[in-house]
Amino acid sequence: MRLFVGLGNPGAKYAANRHTIGFMAVDRIAEEQGCAPWRAKFQGRISEGVLGGEKVVLLKPETFMNLSGQSVGEAMRFYKLTPADVTALHDEIDLAPAKLRLKVGGGHAGHNGLRSIHGHIGADYQRVRLGVGHPGNKDAVPGYVLHDFAKADEGWLDDMLRGISDGAEALAVGDGAKFSNTVALRVAPPRSSTTPRPAAAEPAPLAAPEDTRSAFQKLADRFR
């Protein structure tokens, strides 16, 4: 059994924030993979499904980001899971937009949601780091992640979320390489090698050589 935790802040005010991309990811999995309707439990919302033959519980903590670990710890104890059964999907400012990386263990790098989870279940869980880009200035980070995605982000964001849903079965059965590759193919599909090349342009006709004969010579040549 697996517990997929999407990190974010509850409420319409935060629904389109970069910081809430984890919610968006598990919402897309639930919608496209035929999971059960969301219901209230564990200080959050949960949905359940079977992905790749593995039972998966999707969790969106509603404690706000800084207290996410309370909800995660409660769910983990109820289902008698270990940290190795938990995968947290969260925004990552140290990755470019549309980039994704998997990581197990390690520090929380100042992410308040991860910091809270660390405090409740330890560090030995898997993270799906979803790149949202960096504002370029450390002091601007809080405002940046609590701001909605820009209009220009809609294309790659939808591709990434679709890729996460497509690869959810692989993630559930522990095939991280296949999951990552599935997302990458959605975000940047390979160009087809069968696309016909444009036809070569017809060569321009050669210009006729300049006639340097005198008018008298031209007249004489007509009667030869």
Whether residue 88 contacts residue 105, with contact meaning beta carbons closer than 8 Å, is answered with no
In the sheet where 39-41 sits, what is the strand order?
39-41, 44-51, 54-61, 2-6, 86-92, 126-131, 100-104
- Both tokens of 23, joined, read 């919610």
Residue found under tokens 């880009």:
133
- Both tokens of 84, joined, read 């190795």
- Taking alpha carbons only, the member of 11, 111, 105 closest to residue 61 is 11
Catalytic residue among 19, 90, 111, 118: 19
Task: Please report, as a single letter, which amino acid is at residue 193.
Answer: S
Provide the pairing of β-strand 126-131 with 100-104.
antiparallel
Provide the pairing of β-strand 2-6 with 86-92.
parallel
Is 147 known to be catalytic? no
Task: Please report, as a single letter, which amino acid is at residue 161.
Answer: L
CA distance 183 to 216: 80
Looking at the annotation, which residues are catalytic?
19
